[in-house]
Amino acid sequence: MRVQVSAKKYRRYLKPPTGWISTAAQMKAALVGLDCTLGPMQLKDPAAQGINRHSVKTWRLIDSFNLVFPTTLREYAAGEFQRYFEYQHSLGDQGDIVKSRDKLWPKERFSRQHYDAYIAIIGVMGIVKLPAITDYWTTNTRRYVVPFVRRVMIRNLWQLARHYAHFNDASKKVQRGDRDQPSPPDGYDPIFKWRPMLERFDGFNKVWPSLVTLSNYLTFDENMIKCAMHWGLSRRQPNKPTRDGPQVYVLSESKGKWVYQVWIDQGEFDPNLRPPYHFGKTVAFILHLLVGAGALGSWSTLIIDQYFTSPLLLIVLFFLKVFCIGTCQITRRAWPATQIFANEKANGKVKKPGEARFWFEVGARGAIKWALACCKWYDKNEVHIACNCETGEEQEYSLKRKGSTDAIDTRQPKMRRLYTDNKVGVDVVDQKDAALISDHGSKKSPWHRVHDSFVNTAMTLALEHFDLVITAFGSEEQRRHLNRLRHDAVEARWELLEQLTEEAHFGVENPNVSTLQRGRAQKNKAAADEEEGGEEDENEYEFAGEEEDAEDGSDDEGEGSAPRPRPEP
């Protein structure tokens, strides 16, 4: 259960026996020798990843994807699809079985190649936005044609795989009970279906921090996975672009180039809110992700916002050798217990653009010194920043308000520049994912939405990993190719999907249609032909006797079936 923390408990940490010291000399003495020695993010142990000057000559996007989303993890996911299919059939008439399509299920087993085809089509749905899932398989040339999808997997088999999508043994799931039951894996687990994909030896939270070094600046923030359906993990954030869905905490590089850790908010049943954590929900989540990323003891700088910042968090992270900067609500619980709140009143209000106030305190418990600093400036209203790593240095700023041509020259603490330059990490990750993610299933398939979101993030990180590899070891030709991909995220995603499905052909392929058409509509080509007065191309993507979007899926004859002959003109 969550421990309620009061201002009285905070005072035990914040009121040292030696009292408060508020001189710049003491502030610098507390931080001497504690500078972060980490540099920019780079590859961690390239030899262990199979990267050298010889292997990089043939390095492709799929090679980076196989490291970000390991083949062993995809083999595991495919095995769980097969296990859940067998589990439902073992229940007999009580099982959730799609009898009309079960004959399409692979006779031997659902393999990794099937799973690769499944997630490749999910990637296509993020590139080509169509109203309904079935539109990706339609044969009506006047509407939409996505030959890539039809070649990779037939519609009924893909929908059958989505029906049996599972990532844990459903027979071992513990049903929801009271709040006093034990933590997972013995008790109720809200993310039982998804936990193995995060915490296995080859899960995302294990693999992602092992591929790159820790950045000297990290960003922690929450993210939302779009899901209109109300379920146990749903949260509502009315001020965010995605207002409804499960809330995910993300620890990323400060510029959004990499994601180190992700964790789904599970509410009161989250094991991270149980002993040995006694600091409250937000502090517990931050500590959990920092431990997973290996950031404790690194003296890296964590950038957070006012939702997470508290005096206790700043002090605990300082004891654990992590710097922290974040905006704060000075009237929030526990801040009144500090001398910072008293000095806030003494410094008065800032009312003019560019005007700022800065003050700091140093405390100690025994031989351990720690420091808290606070800064406020005017930006529509007063904005406060607190940190545990400020030395009193100031920098010159040239501020320009929105809609104004006059700049204001001022001097403000260095902590403000560190915050404004490095606060965008999680937001950049969110923007990259939002541009190439599908919205299908957001109303009735919550765990499908979670799966699609993580797969999309893995595809995005594959390009970032490919960038690090080619930048460090690649040839000039490879770097030119990388530059083209960096400027065209859609082309990079298509290249990855085509490489991912080189061994996955579980659909129907029309030899009259080039696979390079990908997701372009034939409607535009037909309109151009009509304007020229010519007739439509006789090689249109058309099958004899097929009706548009047949309800019974009769257009898909089965795995690996040949297309029906096109009628003679």
Q: What does the pLDDT look like over 206-234, one tens digit per residue? A: 999 999 999 888 999 888 888 877 777 88
In angstroms, the CA 230 to CA 444 distance is 9
Q: What does the pLDDT look like over 247-277, one tens digit per residue? A: 889 999 988 889 999 988 887 667 666 655 5
Answer whether 513's CB lies under 8 Å from 520's CB: no
Q: What does the pLDDT look like over 385-411, one tens digit per residue? A: 888 876 656 666 666 655 666 666 666
How many residues comprise the chain? 569
For the packed helices 61-68 and 489-500, what is the interaxial angle rounded to 10 degrees? 80
Answer whether 311's CB lies under 8 Å from 344's CB: no
The whole-number pLDDT of residue 36 equals: 56
Cα torsion 508, 513, 518, 519: sign: negative
How far CA 271 is from CA of 265, 278, 294, 313, 454, in Å, comes to 11, 12, 20, 19, 22
Q: How far apart are the first and last CA of the chain?
A: 73
Confidence label for 458 from pLDDT (cuts 50, 70 and 90): very high
In angstroms, the CA 251 to CA 259 distance is 6
Average pLDDT over residues 546-550: 39
The model carries a pTM of 0.80
In angstroms, the CA 243 to CA 274 distance is 28
For 123-154, b/e burial (b = at least 16 CB within 10 A) is bbbbbbebeebebbbbbbbeebbbbbbbbbbb
Of 385, 323, 331, 336, which Cα lies nearest the Cα of 360? 385
How far CA 159 is from CA of 77, 105, 503, in Å, comes to 16, 11, 20
Counting residues of the chain whose pLDDT is more than 70, the rounded percentage is 67
Q: What is the DSSP string of 472-494?
A: HH--HHHHHHHHHHHT-HHHHHH
Least confident of 2-6, 181-185, 412-416: 2-6
Given the structure tokens 């709040």, which residue do they identify? 179
Q: Which of 64-78, 346-360, 413-427, 505-519 has the highest mean pLDDT?
A: 64-78
Write down the mean pLDDT value for the chain: 75
Whether residue 428 is predicted with pLDDT greater than 70 in this model: the reply is yes
Q: Is-cis flag, bond preceding 276, omega within 30?
A: yes
Higher pLDDT, 144 or 61: 61
Tokens of 313: 């968090």
The whole-number pLDDT of residue 29 equals: 55
Of 302, 266, 267, which Cα lies nearest the Cα of 287? 302
Whether residue 341 is predicted with pLDDT greater than 70 in this model: the reply is no
Amino acid residing at 564? R
Q: What does the pLDDT look like over 9-49, one tens digit per residue? A: 333 333 333 333 334 454 455 555 555 556 778 899 899 99
